[in-house]
Chain A
Amino acid sequence: QSVLTQPPSASGTPGQRVSISCSGSNSNIGNNKVDWYQHLPGTAPKILIHSNDQRPSGVPDRFSGSKSGTSASLAISGLQSEDEADYYCAAWDDSLNGLLFGGGTKLTVL
């Protein structure tokens, strides 16, 4: 059972904006940076956002991240069918001395 809590599912129609939340605690999100990953079936996960709100080169600016206190959020604007995937947040946990992933959110584009 993950201690980074994400909603199991989210959905939206093409062009819409959707947001995925990730709730943690002081030992992880509250004290460390958050990354977000996109995982398409049959492929390796891909980092979308690192250090709370930084997009790696090549990631569209439709994807954005934010963090406040012990929670973080991934927003996807202008939703496209190819955005249908599983999304995970991750943060270092100081108590565990290891990286924690959220349970994942399955995004469906209706």
Chain B
Amino acid sequence: EVQLVQSGAEVKKPGESLTISCKGSGYSFTNNWINWVRQMPGKGLEWMGRIKPSDSYTNYIPSFQGHVTISVDTSISTAYLQWTSLKASDTAMYYCVVNPGIQVWGQGTTVTVSS
């Protein structure tokens, strides 16, 4: 069974750094792009970017470029979404998504940024 298991909810202060994770299983981790999607409170879905685990090639849409970093550790089949300086506007639910023939979403990670 293809599964993506994300790390737990986080509560942080503005300016802090954060890394959330997404562990894949049941499919070829290296050969399938992993995408990250944001949903801010009361808002719609936004695609942030993706990574190709085989060579760590990434692409982001402009609104996220430079503010987040997507990375992977293929040795443990895990993808990461990282912030170096959080803002209150980063408060959202974050999902990882993979499509190895059948599309699978992680359960989501809630990030709350508040002073």
Contacts and interface: CB of A to CB of B under 8 A. Distances in A.
Interface string A84-104: 001010100000111111111
B102 A98 contact: no
Contact of A98 (B61, B106, B107): B61
A100 B35 CA distance: 12
Given A97-B59, A99-B35, A44 B95 contact: yes
Interface stretch (B9-17, B43-51, B71-79, B81-89): B43-51
Q: Contact size class for A? A: 20 to 34
Contacts of B27: none
Contact of A104 (B44, B49, B59, B108): B44
B44 A102 contact: yes
A37 B102 CA distance: 14
Interface in B89-115: 95, 102-103, 105-108
Nearest to B48: A98
B45 A88 contact: yes
A47 interface: yes
Nearest to A37: B45
A96 B105 CA distance: 23
A39 interface: yes
Contact of A101 (B45, B49, B108): B45
A79 B41 CA distance: 28
Interface of B: 35, 37, 44-47, 49, 59-62, 95, 102-103, 105-108
The 6 A-B pairs at the shortest CB distance, nearest first, are namely A99-B47, A44-B105, A98-B61, A104-B44, A101-B45, A47-B103
